[in-house]
A and B are shown apart, each in its own frame.
Chain A
Amino acid sequence: MATSSPQTGGTGAWDRLSRLLGRGPGGYAFLSLYLLITSLMLLLNPRTSLLTDIVFILFLLLVLIIYRTRVHLGFKVALGMVALGVVLPYFGTLNPYYIDVATQAGIYVALALGLNVVVGFAGLLDLGYVAFYAVGAYIWSIFSTPQISTMISGAVPVPSVWFYGFILVGLMIGGVFGVLLGLPVLRLRGDYLAIVTLGFGEVIRVLAENLDKPINITNGAQGIKDIARPPLFFSGALTAIGLKLDDNQLYQFFFYFLVLVIVLITVMIVGRLKNSRIGRAWTAIREDETAAIAQGIPLVRMKLMAFGVGASFAGTMGVVFAAKQLFINPPTFDLLTSISILSMVILGGLGNIPGVILGAVLVTLLNLNILPRIAEILRSAKSAGLPIPQSFDPTQYQRLLFGLLLILMMIFRPEGILPEDRRRQELHEDEDEPSEESAEATT
């Protein structure tokens, strides 16, 4: 399975290069230089352009390279913190667009990791994953806005500081909904499960669209606006050290760091789960359900747990997303979102945590950066007189992109860009660092 990882697969020059830069002094020098060069390129030219996009992707790839290189763990952590905690936010002050993209990518990383628990670990294809995200988002939107008063007369919106509590509420409600969906579909296998979860996703969307009568719960197709954001408790401290930023920028940073922290926690939890008894039970179920039952694995409990855990990440991120976005409506949570999360998981590598993170970041950047940039280039080409159809806009063809991605991946590399390296770990147990530790530290 793991045939082409940079450390084992390459031959000749690539092999020698990766051995030189992959460990020891070469590794330290390479990583530091890489960080320095990409950071300088970003900071010296912060304009939004295709070149900056590519540098930005290379910059983010650093995290993966850090993960792959064999250097001291402390160095990895320090480098990762400098890259994601200092350079990226500073770049964000120069060009706020990119920090927004990074936050969005982080949200998708957490979602993809959650879906990966269901699809990658337990092998249950869930096409309605976005429903849990919607549930989380609607919970916070309803309780933090006057929407609550239209639903229950006399109730008032909760103070915005409750946001932190609602992150946990989103987690729990997401989990509960995951188990609720899991219960009826337990007996189904593979493709039936996919269709039923798809139906469930649609049901949640239709409910969100129609539950404005008889009691106005979701405000129907208009969606909910003016969603509360948590108070900026740290703005005083920032002005004290001489940083002057307006509220909008502060919120951008706040959500960036919040998402970063949640992603780190998610990676930690998922990584621990994967190598635990539960994770091994999921793998067993994925590989062969009948054999797993024969081995005494409690199928019902394990499947429900996979659904619950996966859904709870989505519920959490839903709360954060609603607060960040300030406005949600039912079309935000359509099937296409579920499928784009699925294509992130599949592109990166089903079941493999670094792979899924890579997939999520790549697809988000492709979607938010590369496509609009290509659209711009096409537009300028059109005004230069090239024959490009009038209404052709690449940003409008996400479906085509995701579709092609899914088909091509399935035909040519169904295991993803970074396949799960269970086998590699077994073969190189003595020289490899425990992978989940480095994943925690660097991602």
Chain B
Amino acid sequence: MAAEAKAPTRRVSSQRTLAELLRVIFLPLGQLFVFTVGSAAVLGLIVVVLAFLLSRSDPKIFETAVAILPQVIIDGIVRGFLFATIALGYTMVYGVLEFINFAHGEIFMVGGFVGAGVAYLLNQWGVMSTMPALLFVIIAVILGMTVSGLLAMGTERIAYRPLRNAPRLVPLISAIGMSLVLQDTVRMISTNTPLGFNARFETPDFGKAFQLASIPLGERSIPVLIGPKAVIFIVAALLMLLALNYLVNATRLGKAIRAVAQDRATASLMGINVNQIISLTFLIGGALGGAAGVLFGMNIGTVNPYMGFIPGIKAFTAAVLGGIGNITGAMVGGIVLGFLEAFVASYLSLFTGGAFSGASYADIAAFSILILILIFRPEGLLGEATTQKV
């Protein structure tokens, strides 16, 4: 029976032309590009105008503001891709279950720890220094993805599946509990192993940062740098987006996932194993989170058990900003949020004469965005307005 139900779908998907397929897969990249350039341009313009207005009192502000602009944009992209990759996991799970997987930030953190653990072991065996950097990245990312994906699947099996038909707050509270349990379990493991609470993430030498440009400012010149790790991060994030888009929009598994997201009961009547699809959704989302964790840890150099919480909340904000349930939306939301944070972090103290520290108020900016979006455009940048079912 299942085979009969699936036979027509195979015919339909084979009818799809190559051009259509390419459009489905690469259109999101175009959207992402537009939003990246757009938000960078808008925020850059605001900064320039503000700097110009402020430069009457202090002429140096304008010069400094413009000189650091390219670096801020690059930081924004790196930050944005971090939020974006985590947001993918939130949005996948939300799309299918309409459930905020509160523990997703911790899945991300576990990925970081797996990476740090792999790096520690490789260092112990003495193969780290002789290893090509890219090979190390691939090994660490694959291991991180495996562990995080399986862990996400396990949490779903243990803490969410028994509550699937309960009122909505019940699985949410369970997820909060899961998040706390994961934090402390990882802490228990890491403090009782040589890793320690703040585990160092050793990496092979990636080489020097690429200098994209150099901006003269008075006598000095400010270089615009992008580290090789950041480049790897961005490339990996783009690959993940492409792969996910392909998976969801062009494969049979993706069709099953979309069917379950749309209507669970009908999907199960069509011969789709709903439990299995939900498990797979968690596996995929968790694997993406794990990869983000490894890449993030590599970028920062240390990981700790509580590091997943704030990026997790911000990634959720990003997912809501882009339109929760929408994969490209999550990426776009992440990028926009990343830019916004980078701009606030860099310019707030400059514009207020050091009165407000930008780095801490960046968090407030992120949460304010969340509140504003939920009030004025709850469907997000790319989402569709939904009417509420009674």
- Which A residues fall within an 8 A CB radius of B? 123, 125, 127, 184-185, 187-188, 190-192, 194-196, 198-200, 202-203, 206-207, 209-210, 213-214, 290, 335, 339, 342, 346, 389-392, 397, 399-400, 402-407, 410-411, 414
Best-buried of B158, B173, B363 by chain A (most CB within 10 Å): B173
Q: Which residue of A is nearest B368, CB measured?
A: A203
Which B residues touch A203, using CB under 8 A?
A: 363-364, 367-368
Q: Indicate the member of A123, A203, A342, A407 with the most B CB atoms within 10 Å.
A: A407
What class of interface size applies to chain B in its complex with A? Answer: 35 or more
Q: Chain B at the A interface: mostly helix, strand, loop or mixed?
A: helix
Q: Which of B40-48, B203-211, B353-361 contacts A (4 or more CB under 8 A)?
A: B353-361
When the two chains form their complex, are residues A213 and B313 in contact, meaning their CB atoms are under 8 A apart?
no
9 contacts between A and B (CB under 8 A): A184-B371, A187-B374, A190-B172, A192-B320, A192-B378, A194-B169, A200-B367, A392-B188, A399-B184
Shortest CB–CB separation between residue A279 and chain B, in angstroms? Answer: 19
CB < 8 Å A-B pair total: 134
Contact of A403 among B179, B191, B378 (CB under 8 A): B179
By a CB distance below 8 angstroms, the chain B residues around A123 are 169
Q: Is the CB of A397 within 8 A of B188?
A: yes
Also in contact, A210 and B188, with CB within 8 A (given A190-B169, A191-B168, A414-B170) = no
Note all chain A residues with C-beta closer than 8 A to B143: none
Interface string of B167-206 (1 = CB under 8 A from A): 0111111101111111111011001100000000000000
Q: Would you call B169 and A206 a contact (CB within 8 A)?
A: no
Confirm or deny: B166 has a beta carbon within 8 angstroms of a beta carbon on chain A: yes
Please name all residues of chain A whose beta carbon is closer than 8 Å to the beta carbon of B185 when the two chains form the complex.
400
Q: Quote the shortest CB–CB distance from B195 to chain A (angstroms).
A: 12
Which chain A residue lies CB-closest to B196? A391
- Kindly list chain A residues whose C-beta atoms are within 8 Å of the C-beta of B172: 125, 190-191, 194
The reply on B273 being an interface residue by CB < 8 A is no
Is the Cβ of A210 less than 8 Å from the Cβ of B356? yes
A297 to B49, CA, bound (A): 49
B15 to chain A, nearest CB (A): 39
Shortest C-beta distance, B100 to chain A (Å), equals 5
Contact A410 B375 (CB under 8 A): no
Selected contact of B370 from candidates A195, A390, A405, CB within 8 Å: A195
A346 to B361, CA, bound (A): 33
A127 CA / B177 CA spacing, docked (Å): 13
A191 to B368, CA, bound (A): 17
> Once bound together, how far apart are the Cα atoms of A111 and B42, in whole Å?
45
Q: Could you tell me if B169 and A125 are in contact, using CB atoms closer than 8 angstroms?
A: yes
Cα A209 to Cα B356 in complex, Å, equals 12
Residue-wise, chain B 357-390 has the 8 Å CB interface mask toward A (1 for contact) of 1001101101110110011001000000000001
Q: Are B181 and A399 in contact (CB under 8 A)?
A: yes
A407–B178 touching, CB < 8 Å: yes
Cβ-based interface call for B127 (8 A)? no
Contact A400 B180 (CB under 8 A): yes
Check if B174 sits within 8 Å of A411, measured CB to CB. Answer: yes
Assuming the A-B contacts A410-B170, A410-B173, are A192 and B356 also in contact, with contact meaning beta carbons closer than 8 angstroms in the complex?
Answer: no
